């Protein structure tokens, strides 16, 4: 009897272990859990400022990245979007080998630090001179935008925090272009599947026209920095150019 019992206990244990293995979190689930936790925390902007010191190396002290799109502007982005991208990148649900090491728990911290740094970045004023496209096909770009993007990204490119939809106004054209291509071809794995479907039939002309139009959508005045503004939180920081990340596109 006792042998039989321990046998069935062992079988139960084995089944338990197996089902735990089967339910191991995927990168997407891991990221989603972090996002859910982080968006409900009360952020501390002062602590976020300290965490941002690491980010400033690449995204620059103003958070504006570079006009050539190698490093994106992150200043002014919706906190929920920054949180989602950070969680996705660190769970490897979005590939970003250049930034990955800086999102580790050792360097960045846990969900509270993610919430803090997102709050700090989202209140930084945006680049008044972001990189724009060639400017030759804007009427077509506007039409494509109205028919395909407004429902999600909003009529001014303002995004939507409740659905983690990024604001895309004021972003550098070449960054928009790279992300759009990666979303279309499935290389950006954390993309919105409805968007992926929506843009499959886009021609090269549609893509450059619509993104040129988006890059010229002006953020509202209260979100833009004054010309010549430098982040006073980083007075002695070198603003010298840095090398571009290794080319992966
Ligand atoms: C070593 C350079 C580097 C560092 C340090 C770095 N990043 Fe990045 N980050 C990048 C690059 C490069 C990209 C764009 C990658 C791509 O093209 O997909 C990026 C993308 C992002 C994005 C996505 C932007 C978007 O709209 O798609 C966010 C948000 C972000 N970084 C936040 C941060 C934060 C917060 C920190 C600090 C904790 C940080 N980054 C540190 C290089 C860096
Ligand atoms: C069904 C909703 C939906 C539609 C339609 C849609 N998008 Fe998106 N888009 C999203 C979401 C959600 C994301 C963020 C996904 C993620 O988490 O990475 C995104 C991401 C992006 C990004 C990357 C932004 C960044 O900061 O990394 C760009 C650029 C973009 N969309 C442009 C467009 C354009 C232009 C159109 C119209 C042609 C469009 N999208 C249509 C929902 C949509």
pLDDT for 173-189, tens place per residue?
999 999 999 999 999 99
Task: Give the confidence band of 90 by pLDDT, cuts at 50, 70, 90.
Answer: very high
List C-alpha distances in Å: 201 to 133, 175, 178, 195, 215: 21, 21, 17, 11, 21
pLDDT in tens, 180-226: 999 999 999 999 999 999 999 999 999 999 999 999 999 999 999 99
Could you tell me how far CA 176 lies from the centroid of its own chain? 12
Q: Are the beta carbons of 170 and 130 closer than 8 angstroms? A: yes
Q: Distance between CA 83 and CA 109 in Å, rounded?
A: 13
**Residue 245 CA: which ligand 1 atom is closest?**
12
- Protein residue closest via CA to atom 21 of ligand 1: 72
- What whole-number percentage of the chain has pLDDT above 90? 84
- Domain ranges in the chain are 27-223
Residue whose CA is closest, atom 2 of ligand 1? Answer: 58
Place of tokens 């028919």: 147
Distance in angstroms (rounded) separating the CA atoms of residues 36 and 103: 17
Residue 4 pLDDT > 80, yes or no?
no
- C-alpha 167/C-alpha 181 separation (Å) is 18
Closest C-alpha residue for ligand 2 atom 23? 179
Quote the CATH superfamily of domain 27-223.
Cytochrome c-like domain (1.10.760.10)
> Would you say residue 5 has pLDDT above 60?
no
Residue 114 CB: number of other CB atoms within 10 A?
Answer: 28
Q: d(Cα 67, Cα 60) in Å, to the nearest integer?
A: 12
CB 83 within 8 A of CB 118: yes
Provide CB contacts within 8 A for 129, sequence distance 6+. Answer: 67, 227
Give per-residue pLDDT as tens, 7-66: 666 655 555 555 555 568 899 999 999 999 999 999 999 999 999 999 999 999 999 999
Residue 179: CB within 6 Å of ligand 2? yes
């Amino acid at each position: 009897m006792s042998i039989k019992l321990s046998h069935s206990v062992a079988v139960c244990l084995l089944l338990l272990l197996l089902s735990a293995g089967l339910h191991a979190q995927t990168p997407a689930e891991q990221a989603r859990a972090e996002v859910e936790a982080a968006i409900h925390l009360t952020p501390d902007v002062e602590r976020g400022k300290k965490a941002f010191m690491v980010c400033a190396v690449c995204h620059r002290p103003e958070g504006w990245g570079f006009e050539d799109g190698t490093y994106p502007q992150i200043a002014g982005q919706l906190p929920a979007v920054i949180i989602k991208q950070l969680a996705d990148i660190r769970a490897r649900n979005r590939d970003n080998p250049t930034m990955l090491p800086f999102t580790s728990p050792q360097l960045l911290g846990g969900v509270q630090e993610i919430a803090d740094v997102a709050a700090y970045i989202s209140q930084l004023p945006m680049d008044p001179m972001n990189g724009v496209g060639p400017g030759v096909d804007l009427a077509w770009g506007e039409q494509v935008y109205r028919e395909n993007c407004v429902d999600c990204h909003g009529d001014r490119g303002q995004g939507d925090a409740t659905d983690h939809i990024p604001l895309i106004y004021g972003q550098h054209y070449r960054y928009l272009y790279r992300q759009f291509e990666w979303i279309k071809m499935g290389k950006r794995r954390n993309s919105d599947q409805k968007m992926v479907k929506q843009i499959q039939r886009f021609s090269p002309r549609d893509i450059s026209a619509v993104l040129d139009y988006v890059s010229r959508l002006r953020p509202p005045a209260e979100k833009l920095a004054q010309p010549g503004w430098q982040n006073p939180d980083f007075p002695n920081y070198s603003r010298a150019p840095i090398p571009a990340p290794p080319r992966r596109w």
